Structures are given as C-alpha cells and as structure tokens.
Amino acid sequence: MGYFAGLDVSLDETAICIVDESGRIVREARAASEPDVLVAFFGACGMAMERVGLEACSLTAWLHAGLTEAGLPAICIEARQAKAAMGAMPNKTDRNDARGIAQIMRTGWYRAVHVKSPPCRSWRALLTARRMLLNKRRDIENGIRALLREVGLKVGTPSRKAFPARVRELAADDPVLASLAGSMLTVIEAMTKEVDQLTKRVLDEVRVEPTCRRLMTVPGVGPLTALAFRATIDQPDRFRRSRDVGAHLGLTPRRYQSGETDIQGHISRCGDELARTALYEAAHSLLIRSSKWSALRAWGMNVAKRRGMARARVAVARKLAVILHRIWADGSEFRWGKPAAVPAAA
C-alpha cells in the first residue's frame, strides 16, 4: 500500500500528515523544519511514500533538495492552487493545512513547481540583493526630498551624481536639516558603492556564462535581463512550446469566460516579477533607445501606433520571452528581418 504525505512548513516547525490510498489519516506529527529531521522521521515511520508534498515557500528549495537526496519523492506544489483546494476548510491551522496537502498528493490535483538548480538560485539571490539596494536607495532619496520640501526647498531633477551637491546646497542655511541630510547622503553613498560592486559581479557572471552571452545577441537584452531570464527559466525543456514562456512570466492577458460572457483583461502578472520586469525594461530599450532596425522593433512600433506605447512594451516583452527561449532551446540566432521567401520550383 502506498502512502502520501503533506508538509505544512513554517520557520521553526513543520506539520506532517500521512494518509493512505483511501484517504484515511495514518499518522500526524510535528517536526523541526530541517531536512535531516524530516528524513529521519520518514525513515522511522516505515511507510513507502508515493508522494511527499510541500508548498512553495522560502524554505522549499532547501528542504526539497534534502528530501530528494535521501530518496524521498518530494514535490513542490503551487501555493495559490493549494490555497484554492484548502479554501473549503472552516478553520485554517497548520494541522489542517498538512491534511489538505496530503489529500492533494493522494488525488493528484496539483501543479508541480520547478525547483531551480543551485547556480540559478545563486544568480537570483545576486539580482534580488542588487534590486533591494536600488529600491532602498530610491526610498532614501525620496525621503530627503520630502524633508526639504517641508521647508519649501525643491530639489528638482538633478542627475544622480549631482544630487548630493544639490541637497547640501539647499540645506546649508539650516544646521539641523543639513545634519539630517548629511547622514542620509552618507548612507546613499555607501549603498551606491555596494550597488556598483553587485553590478560588477553580475557582469562577471554573464561574461563566463555561455547561455547569457547568446541571449545578449538579441537587441535590447543586456546582462541584467539575460541573467534574470537564465536564472528564472533554468531549464528550457520545461516548456513544450516557446509561447508558453510568456504565460509563465505573467505577460499574457487574463480571461474570464462564462456562457456568453468573454472578458479579456490586463496581463496576469502571475509569474516571476524579476524576469518580467527585466523583459519590460528590455522592451523599452528596444523601442526607445535602439537605433538599429529589426523586424521586432518595427512590429512593436506598429503596436504602439495602434494601442499606445505602454501596451507595445508589454507585447514586445512577451515576444522577447518567446524569442529568448527559442534561441536558448535550439541554439539558433536572432533574425533581424523576416526570412527570405523560397522561390517556387519550376
């Protein structure tokens, strides 16, 4: 008889529920959220596990790697789908969540989430850390603008290099304001230095990664976009068709169809935000900054004339996702124009 287990993972403890093929609960327990502890628990229970399910969370990759290395059939499932399946339960507890995940494993009503390889997780950590510093630096800059604006001082739109000098110039007549602004400018200077170092690390990684170098042959795609796409997709054979990548990254519109109602809405934004943002910025660069003609840019500009530049950026970002996957999957080159027509046989 096969058994199915559900793990509801939290930071310190994991709720465990094991059910048999008929759905009857065989065993419930709580264990520390450590791979060795969980492996020891399943080894001691003496049951042959068909599937061991756990929701996608920050600890998932670490726990999944430990369980699979020990020979357990661990499966990471999509959190939103698990929430929908367990939404009928009146009480939400860790114990009930583990029960629900175990039943999902038994019935097979789940969508497995791809657990990325260690290099991809490392690249994503690098990109996430860089973006976090950029966001915090922007928040501090906006805070300085707000402090000065309260006393009627307007910073304007200086360049990033001229921003500290402009702030010190405006706050020079107020000792208290000058001291506060000086402290915040010191933090900005330190963060800028660290951002530059992380950017250099990104460039160093891309320089030795052959897939990223191939992806950068596409116009508008730079090192950040190439590495974000490489780290997000991880394995191109996960997708049966290249057009599925756009939907995976949340770049396709939502649709609600019921009876005679058929509504097509905004893009779903259900995929990876890091890669989706990078592709959107690459599309903007292709449409606005690129000076070299390509069929992709011409198509995007035609969309911009009909639907506006914002929608054109999304459309080109979706096209870029498809093109990058196809170039990666079959080793082809980017086609700047349409392929030449083959002459008909006489």
pLDDT tens by residue, 54-93: 998 889 999 999 999 999 999 999 887 777 777 777 788 9
Compute and round to an integer the Cα radius of gyration of the chain: 26
Q: Is the pLDDT of residue 34 over 70?
A: yes
Q: Is the pLDDT of residue 217 over 50?
A: yes
CA 280 vs CA 121, 171, 204, 232, 286: distances in Å: 22, 38, 23, 15, 10
Residue (of 271, 125, 284) closest to 205 by Cα position: 125
Q: What is the pTM of this model?
A: 0.90
Which residues, including other chains, have CB under 8 Å from residue 192's CB and lie 6 or more apart?
A: 137, 160
Q: Is the pLDDT of residue 324 over 80?
A: yes
- 94-150: pLDDT as tens digits: 999 999 999 999 998 888 889 999 999 999 999 999 999 999 999 999 999 999 999
Q: What share of the chain in percent tops pLDDT 70?
A: 98
CATH 3.30.420.40 applies to domain 3-107 = yes
Domain boundaries, the chain: 3-107, 118-208, 216-330
Q: Residue 1: which pLDDT band, with cuts at 50, 70 and 90? A: confident
Q: Is the pLDDT of residue 174 over 80?
A: yes
Q: Is the pLDDT of residue 344 over 70?
A: no
Q: Is the pLDDT of residue 222 over 60?
A: yes
**Whole-number pLDDT of residue 339:** 67
CA atoms within 13 A on the CB side of 75: 22
> What is the mean predicted confidence (pLDDT) over 253-274?
86
Which tokens belong to 188? 């900005």
- CA–CA distance, 87 with 92 (Å, rounded to integer): 9
Least confident range of 83-87, 139-143, 152-156, 291-295:
83-87
CA 302 to chain CA centroid, Å, is 29
